[in-house]
Amino acid sequence: MNTVKTVRELRAAVARARNEGKRIGFVPTMGNLHSGHIALITKATQRVDFVVASIFVNPLQFGAGEDLDKYPRTLAADQEKLLEAGCHLLFAPAVEEMYPDGMTGQTRVSVPQLSEGLCGASRPGHFEGVATVVSKLFNMVQPDLAIFGQKDFQQLAVIKSLVHDLNMPVQIIGEPTVRAADGLALSSRNGFLSEEQRAVAPVVYRVLSQMAEAIKQGERDFPALIDAQFKQLEAAGLRTDYLEIRHAQTLRPATPEDRDLVILVAAFLGTTRLIDNLHLSLDTTA
Ligand code: PAF
d(CA 76, CA 191): 17
Residue 86: how many CB atoms within 10 A of its CB?
14
Q: How far is the CA of 145 from the centre of ligand 1 (A)?
A: 16
pLDDT of residue 137: 99
Coil, helix or strand for 236?
Answer: coil
283 band by pLDDT with thresholds 50, 70 and 90: confident
pLDDT above 80: residue 135? yes
Model confidence pLDDT, tens digit, residues 96-123: 999 999 999 999 999 999 999 999 999 9
- Interval 57-63 mean pLDDT: 98
Q: What is the dihedral of CA 242, 275, 265, 68, to 10 degrees?
A: 10
Q: Does residue 37 have an active-site annotation?
A: yes
d(CA 16, CA 30): 25
pLDDT of residue 284: 59
pLDDT above 70: residue 286? no
226 within ligand 1 shell (Cβ under 6 A): no
Mean pLDDT of the chain: 97
Catalytic residue (choose from 37, 88, 164, 247)? 37
Sheet of 272-281, strands arranged across: 239-247, 260-269, 272-281
- Interval 149-159 mean pLDDT: 98
Q: How far is the CA of 269 from the centre of ligand 1 (A)?
A: 22
As beta bridge partners, residue 28 has: 54
- Domain 2-175 falls in which CATH fold? Rossmann fold (3.40.50)
pLDDT above 80: residue 245? yes
Model confidence pLDDT, tens digit, residues 83-101: 999 999 999 999 999 999 9
240 band by pLDDT with thresholds 50, 70 and 90: very high
98 within ligand 1 shell (Cβ under 6 A): no
188-279: CATH number? 3.30.1300.10
Written as one letter, the residue type at 170 is V
Give me the residue spans of the domains in the chain.
Answer: 2-175, 188-279
29 within ligand 1 shell (Cβ under 6 A): yes
Listed in order, strand segments (DSSP E) in 115-188 are 145-149, 171-175
Q: Which atom of ligand 1 is nearest to the CA of 149?
A: 1
By CB atoms closer than 10 A (0-12, 13-18, 19+), residue 101 is: exposed
pLDDT above 70: residue 213? yes
Pocket test for ligand 1, best of 155, 175, 273 (most atoms within 8 A of CB): 155
Model confidence pLDDT, tens digit, residues 172-199: 999 999 999 999 999 999 999 999 999 9
Q: Which atom of ligand 1 is nearest to the CA of 57?
A: 10
pLDDT of residue 196: 98
